[in-house]
Chains A and B, each alone.
Chain A
């Protein structure tokens, strides 16, 4: 059941609310663990075992395997926790922005610069 709050539709945007917090809890909990270097290493040693330990559902596991940020958000991921996952692969915010917008990294960076003109 959805919360009664009237949700504003903002194109290309998922507001992380109670509904997202509920479906994404285990995924975000796994990503929160990546604050620890030991946990990042444990994930990299055996991703499948690590995901099972945190009881990720199939959609979350597939999104992690695909390294796909939009799929991770759809599966309840929060950008602050997902950033810790992305950090394992040394991806920066322009890499992530480019992936989500379907742009090259150079085009995404140019778009940011253009917004300042």
Chain B
């Protein structure tokens, strides 16, 4: 059976794409952010993932408001990138793993998660940037060393699924991976957050105390955040801080592991208007 090797959860601010394109990793503004990633890459070298289930939210590239699924799973053989409208370069397309995708679809629906399936899906910075941060040498060559299975959670249009629901979705994803008849090594990525708010008079709202408590809770008390409603989470973390739901689902996917070990974390304010986080958990 396939093995879940762990999770990497990370922020995905679009401006990171601009910084990579302009080689600003050592620039004083960017360095505290980019310096978080070598330790994650070092862990990945030993962990050797073949496939990544990446839990992300769309930003108005793949989905418009005409159809807005709460949960969706990509089932494509390849995921194209595209112009997102604000000038960051589109990165390489990502190869999919339709076998795992359809296994996930079967298992999630059997588990009463009535997801939408996407045989075609455009991927935006929420998928490209985590890949670029974790595999920069491959990114520079315009390729990726892993296959991806995108799982999208709606954080565009309220009502969003609750943190408790996303936790259970993650648990279901984890069970599906563990029942996949394959010798592949599977990494789970949670892409989003942490606290930030782009819109309104409250733009620029950040909450370091909450973010650090949230990151800490994911190691040993991962259901801590499920005590909050989504409106409460928006108040605590900002209108886009709700993307922390991706981290909750990614952590849920590890819930069936025998043991969870924190391998690395980083936290830095600000990148653009965002508090950025990185958390690497090993599952055994």
A contact set with B: CB distance below 8 Å: 5, 7-8, 10-18, 21, 25, 28-29, 31-32, 34-37, 40, 69-70, 73, 78-84, 86-87, 90, 92-94, 96-97, 100-101, 108-109, 111-113, 115-116
Pairwise interchain contact B208-A116, C-beta atoms closer than 8 A: yes
In the complex, chain B residues whose CB is within 8 Å of the CB of A7:
231
Query: How many contacting A-B pairs (Cβ < 8 A)?
Result: 137
Question: Assuming A40-B85, A87-B85, A116-B270, is B202 touching A11 (CB within 8 A)?
Answer: yes
Pairwise interchain contact A90-B201, C-beta atoms closer than 8 A: no
User: Interface-forming stretch among B130-138, B145-153, B156-164, B182-190?
Assistant: B156-164
Question: Assuming A5-B159, A79-B199, A92-B15, is B239 touching A15 (CB within 8 A)?
Answer: yes
Instruction: Decide yes or no whether B43 CB sits under 8 A from chain A.
Output: no
Q: What are 12 A-B residue pairs whose CB atoms fall within 8 Å in the complex?
A: A11-B202, A12-B201, A28-B65, A34-B85, A37-B83, A70-B200, A86-B86, A92-B272, A101-B201, A109-B270, A113-B270, A116-B268
Question: Assuming A17-B159, A101-B204, is B60 touching A78 (CB within 8 A)?
Answer: yes
Closest chain A residue to B232 by CB distance? A8
In the complex, chain B residues whose CB is within 8 Å of the CB of A97:
198, 203-204, 273
Pairwise interchain contact B198-A83, C-beta atoms closer than 8 A: yes
* Majority secondary structure, B binding face: loop
Of B65, B239, B240, chain A has the most CB atoms within 10 Å of the CB of: B65
Number of interface residues of B (CB under 8 A): 40
Instruction: Decide yes or no whether B19 CB sits under 8 A from chain A.
Output: no
In the complex, chain A residues whose CB is within 8 Å of the CB of B61:
35
Min CB–CB distance B114 → chain A (angstroms): 20
Min CB–CB distance A110 → chain B (angstroms): 10
In the complex, chain B residues whose CB is within 8 Å of the CB of A87:
85-87
Pairwise interchain contact A116-B275, C-beta atoms closer than 8 A: yes
In the complex, chain A residues whose CB is within 8 Å of the CB of B201:
11-13, 70, 100-101
In the complex, chain A residues whose CB is within 8 Å of the CB of B157:
16-18, 21, 78
Min CB–CB distance B191 → chain A (angstroms): 15
Min CB–CB distance B271 → chain A (angstroms): 9
Closest chain A residue to B240 by CB distance? A79
B contact set with A: CB distance below 8 Å: 15, 59-61, 64-66, 82-87, 156-159, 197-204, 206-208, 231-232, 234-235, 239-240, 268-270, 272-273, 275
Pairwise interchain contact B272-A12, C-beta atoms closer than 8 A: no
Min CB–CB distance B209 → chain A (angstroms): 10
Pairwise interchain contact B203-A16, C-beta atoms closer than 8 A: no
In the complex, chain A residues whose CB is within 8 Å of the CB of B272:
92-94
Q: How far is the CA of A66 from the CA of B110 in the complex (A)?
A: 51
Min CB–CB distance A96 → chain B (angstroms): 7
Question: Assuming A35-B85, A116-B268, is B199 touching A14 (CB within 8 A)?
Answer: yes
